[in-house]
Amino acid sequence: MNAEIITIGDEILIGQIVDTNSAWMATELNAIGIKIVQITSISDDPEHLTEALDNARKRVDLVLMTGGLGPTNDDRTKDVLTRYFNSKLVSHAPTLEHIESMFKARGLKKIQLNADQALVPECCTVLSNQVGTAPGMWFNEGNVIFISMPGVPFEMKQLMTDEILPRLTAINKKGKIVHQTIQTIGIPESFLAQKLEKWEEALPEHIHLAYLPSPGLIRLRLSAFGDDEGLLSTEVNNQVEKLNKIIPDAIFGYGEVSISQVVGELLKSNNSMVAVAESCTGGMISHEITSVPGSSEWFKGAVIAYSNEIKEELLGVSSQTLEEHGAVSEQVVCQMAQGVRKIMNTEYGIATSGVAGPSGGSKEKPVGMVWIAVAGPVDTTVSVYNFANNRERNIIRASLTTLNMLRLMLKK
Amino acid sequence: MNAEIITIGDEILIGQIVDTNSAWMATELNAIGIKIVQITSISDDPEHLTEALDNARKRVDLVLMTGGLGPTNDDRTKDVLTRYFNSKLVSHAPTLEHIESMFKARGLKKIQLNADQALVPECCTVLSNQVGTAPGMWFNEGNVIFISMPGVPFEMKQLMTDEILPRLTAINKKGKIVHQTIQTIGIPESFLAQKLEKWEEALPEHIHLAYLPSPGLIRLRLSAFGDDEGLLSTEVNNQVEKLNKIIPDAIFGYGEVSISQVVGELLKSNNSMVAVAESCTGGMISHEITSVPGSSEWFKGAVIAYSNEIKEELLGVSSQTLEEHGAVSEQVVCQMAQGVRKIMNTEYGIATSGVAGPSGGSKEKPVGMVWIAVAGPVDTTVSVYNFANNRERNIIRASLTTLNMLRLMLKK
């Protein structure tokens, strides 16, 4: 079953709100094997909605609308649908009762605008909105289903969860989709594509691969389409296994996991803690770590050493080394990682020192050059990177790369 | 001028990412008087894109596309556009040079997939992408402008800001708009609306006010529409002056300035530096500060004290105070601010200690409760807040509030 989502109202079009409803609906519909082929955001203009409905029914067998059902004059969806399906508005007794009881509970007097919310096109199936006044509406027209819901997120979610998804699951028995997201780090997109070229070409036709890059990371998503969910899962798992043999070190997790979460799990299973010394990343590594709930179990703290004075006095970096090699150097970053490990009394210490930009670069040490060190109970690993990007990106890429170096040491 | 945004790629349709690009673009286009009449999200399917382009050109005179320009096989936008405009792919020398220099700077070898990014339809104007490999493309076809950009948010934003918005502003000349953004902090939206009610009601009809809230901050945007740009500017400035009398402390800047930038300017003009001690904010304050280029002039460093041990040993918080009052307390946060000011030898020290959540809350110290202290040369100010939000929001709101408390002390 293919679907289109139509959101109605100006808020999205003028950029006042971000459309989070559609992502939520898409996830839920995907989970029951319904594929979204288009999301369309339009204004409250009746002609535009009519046109959008005409276009959608050519493409899909399910049209989900949100918005335009409020009590005020700028909400026109119900009128448009009544005309579109050649119906007429009638009062729906259970809805009217529900509205009256809602107003009574809040100690408010109902006005005519509220009573009008109980008017629905005669031809629709009314879907009960337990948390608001505007009911959902379900229309069967030829082979296409049209569903209209309020745009208020929690009202839409209640209607989807209690009324719509169960009905759609019953109707949509055939056609399943199985997704798996594979999180990778450390290989740039074009190089990854080259490494995976042969494997990708050999994928069966009903399994698709998508690259989803974000700064410092690339998520790969496999989507398998077919009838037998169990079989599809097996096939996807087999492909993930093959992938794992091609890029074993680059894969750090599956699904919506972050690199900090993975590092945290590894530290916990190692009964170890980490401390952080940040120069050019300026707090970003600590922020990434502490975004994980419960990270105090494995993260003791950090020193953000934005001046040489702090590197010397708090982290114990030698002033001679700083003078000889400069702050952005292999020697200094190693002393920072070892120093923070020592002063915070942890098993692991990680450190960064580089040129975030936009200024401060030189020929030998250009903007984007970052030294990273990981000090552990056995040894210290150190690497240099040239991220060559803008400040924001250099910081995020250096931070994720540092966490990845710690991950690789912990995996050994 | 009316516009449609078309986003290309599966990520939005399967609900994996929320489409924040469109809201950003809509806000920016609105600001130069371009109205978005539809946002359409479609997959990478070439036929579907062709259909979407056919439909869009009937409705609007500007079509903005994002996505589908990556180096991998699932990216098809460029091929579709080449066919759609009856053109052919040719190599664009400046883009190829730019790609080569990007790879060189990162010490990587360019492969064929990267070189192919420099192929563009012969009929388009190439828009330079300074922060990525895929250039933007501008097509004039009859009376309609078609623009294609990468979907990666910061690449899209760079292209919009540097290449597209200036050109569109020049084309869309009739009718002037003057905008001014006023940045506020410290007053929640509903209270701000109440304070500004009378002023807003008295605004002339051609000046509009928009509230643009984000976690911890609210931007107010005044937009004046008319023919005489000079006159509009004067009118807007007069309104801003009135506003400043109503909420003098809440306004921290104008335009796209961050609170860290404002704090940095105040510190520099005071010849002072700041040091940070973070517990519940976990590095976010330091990250906000170091996002500002050149912040090393006024930021010496930070201690992220995620365990009591670090609070005692590095910051000098008394173990007796920790035991008596707990880490989340007025006494501890004051000692943290004073301690970090002392060990880093700065004029100002700021500190946070609270319950970020989701767990760790109690009846006396619920999730979202955060103590904040600012220690200066003269005295220490301390406040407690109940942000009562999720972890991510509690962290960002506590961080911005801390920077604002420092701003208010510096302003005195």
Is the alpha carbon torsion for B306, B308, B313, B318 positive or negative?
Answer: positive
Domain definitions of chain B by residue range: 2-171, 176-254, 259-411
- pLDDT value at A160 more than 70: yes
CA atoms within 13 A on the CB side of A119: 18
Over residues B272-296, the mean pLDDT reads: 98
Query: SS3 of A374, please?
Result: strand
**Best CA proximity match to A127, nearest among A111, A112, A144, A139:** A139
For residue B277, list chain A residues with Cβ-Cβ distance below 8 A: none
The backbone torsions φ and ψ at residue A409, rounded to the nearest 5 degrees and listed phi first, read: -65, -40
| Residue B34 DSSP symbol | P
How far apart are alpha carbons A302 and B49 in whole angstroms? 49
- pLDDT value at A173 more than 80: no
Q: How large is the C-alpha radius of gyration of chain A?
A: 28
Taking a contact as any Cβ pair under 8 Å apart, which residues of chain A between 61 and 120 contact chain B? none
pLDDT of residue A223: 85
User: Among A28-32, A41-45, B210-214, B320-324, where is mean pLDDT lowest?
Assistant: B210-214
Residue A100 binned pLDDT confidence (cut-offs 50, 70, 90): confident
Over residues B40-67, the mean pLDDT reads: 95
Query: SS3 of B198, please?
Result: helix
Query: SS3 of B226, please?
Result: strand
- Check: CB of residue B336 under 8 Å from CB of residue B353: yes
- Cβ neighbour number for residue B93 with a 10 Å cutoff: 10
Residue tagged 């009809």 (tokens):
B205
Task: Supply the mean pLDDT for chain B.
Answer: 93
- Check: CB of residue B187 under 8 Å from CB of residue B195: yes
Q: Do B304 and A303 touch (CB under 8 A)?
A: yes
* Secondary structure (DSSP) of A7-34: EESHHHHTTSS-BHHHHHHHHHHHHTTP
Torsion of CA B30, B34, B39, B40, to 10 degrees: -150
Residue A281 binned pLDDT confidence (cut-offs 50, 70, 90): very high
For residue A400, list chain B residues with Cβ-Cβ distance below 8 A: none
pLDDT of residue B219: 87
Q: Of the candidates A41, A213, A303, which has its C-beta nearest B301's C-beta?
A: A303
Query: SS3 of B183, please?
Result: strand
Q: Is the CB of residue A212 less than 8 Å away from at least one CB of chain B?
A: yes
| Residue B53 DSSP symbol | H
Q: Give pLDDT tens digits for A182-205.
A: 999 999 988 999 999 999 999 998
Using CB atoms within 10 Å of the CB of residue B164, give its burial: 0 to 12 exposed, 13 to 18 middle, 19+ buried: buried
- Check: CB of residue B349 under 8 Å from CB of residue B384: no
Strand pairing partners for A371? A353, A384
Q: Give pLDDT tens digits for A318-375.
A: 999 999 999 999 999 999 999 999 999 999 999 999 999 999 999 999 999 999 999 9
Using CB atoms within 10 Å of the CB of residue B167, give its burial: 0 to 12 exposed, 13 to 18 middle, 19+ buried: middle
> A171 versus B199: which is more confidently predicted?
B199
Q: Is the CB of residue A229 less than 8 Å away from at least one CB of chain B?
A: no
User: Among A273-277, B175-179, B248-252, B369-373, where is mean pLDDT lowest?
Assistant: B175-179
**A239-251: string of b/e by CB count within 10 Å (b at 16+)?**
beeebeeebeebb
- Check: CB of residue B36 under 8 Å from CB of residue A28: no
B2-171: CATH homologous superfamily?
MoaB/Mog-like domain (3.40.980.10)
- pLDDT value at B127 more than 70: yes
| Residue B363 DSSP symbol | S
Domain B176-254 has CATH 3.40.50.300: no
State how far the alpha carbon of B26 is from the alpha carbons of A12, B5, B34, B144, B176, in Å: 8, 8, 9, 18, 18
For residue A302, list chain B residues with Cβ-Cβ distance below 8 A: 283, 302-304, 306
Contacts of A400 (CB under 8 A, 6+ apart): A185, A215, A216, A217, A259, A288
pLDDT of residue A113: 73
Q: Of the candidates B36, B38, B102, which has its C-beta nearest A388's C-beta?
A: B102
Strand pairing partners for A9? none
For residue A187, list chain B residues with Cβ-Cβ distance below 8 A: none
pLDDT of residue A211: 83
Continuous segment of H or E residues that includes residue B185: strand B176-185
For residue B313, list chain A residues with Cβ-Cβ distance below 8 A: 343
Task: Give the closest-approach CA distance of B225 to chain A in angstroms.
Answer: 16
pLDDT of residue A221: 87
Strand positions, DSSP E, A86-154: 89-91, 119-121, 125-127, 136-141, 144-149
Q: Do A293 and B391 touch (CB under 8 A)?
A: yes
Residue A73 binned pLDDT confidence (cut-offs 50, 70, 90): low
Residue B365 binned pLDDT confidence (cut-offs 50, 70, 90): very high
- pLDDT value at A250 more than 90: yes
State how far the alpha carbon of A385 is from the alpha carbons of A397, B111, B199, in Å: 10, 19, 54
> A263 versus B132: which is more confidently predicted?
A263
pLDDT of residue A174: 64
Query: SS3 of B341, please?
Result: helix
- pLDDT value at B174 more than 70: no
Beta strand B62-66 pairing with B144-149: parallel
Domain A259-411 has CATH 3.90.950.20: yes
**Best CA proximity match to B80, nearest among B91, B68, B72, B90:** B68
Q: Do B113 and A221 touch (CB under 8 A)?
A: no
- Check: CB of residue B396 under 8 Å from CB of residue B284: yes
pTM: 0.79
Q: Percent of chain A scored above 90 by pLDDT?
A: 75
- Check: CB of residue B329 under 8 Å from CB of residue B267: no
Q: Do B26 and A13 touch (CB under 8 A)?
A: yes
CA B123 to chain centre: 34
What ipTM, to 2 d.p.?
0.81
Over residues B382-395, the mean pLDDT reads: 90
User: Among A189-198, A311-320, B201-210, where is mean pLDDT lowest?
Assistant: B201-210
How far apart are alpha carbons B68 and B65 in whole angstroms? 9
pLDDT of residue B75: 83
> B387 versus B21: which is more confidently predicted?
B21
User: Among A102-111, A373-382, B8-17, B44-53, where is mean pLDDT lowest?
Assistant: A102-111
Q: Give pLDDT tens digits for A212-235.
A: 888 889 999 898 888 888 999 999
How far apart are alpha carbons B299 and B282 in whole angstroms? 17
**B58-72: string of b/e by CB count within 10 Å (b at 16+)?**
ebbbbbbbbbbbbbb
Over residues A16-30, the mean pLDDT reads: 90
Q: Of the candidates A13, A23, A39, which has its C-beta nearest B17's C-beta?
A: A23
- pLDDT value at B237 more than 90: yes
Q: Do A306 and B314 touch (CB under 8 A)?
A: no
Say which amino acid occupies B194. Answer: Q
Q: Do A301 and B300 touch (CB under 8 A)?
A: no
State how far the alpha carbon of A330 is from the alpha carbons of A28, A338, A339, A353, A380, in Å: 49, 12, 14, 9, 11
Q: Of the candidates A25, A181, A304, which has its C-beta nearest B301's C-beta?
A: A304
Q: Do domains B176-254 and B259-411 have the same CATH topology?
A: no
Residue A209 binned pLDDT confidence (cut-offs 50, 70, 90): confident
Strand pairing partners for B254? B182
Over residues B211-236, the mean pLDDT reads: 87
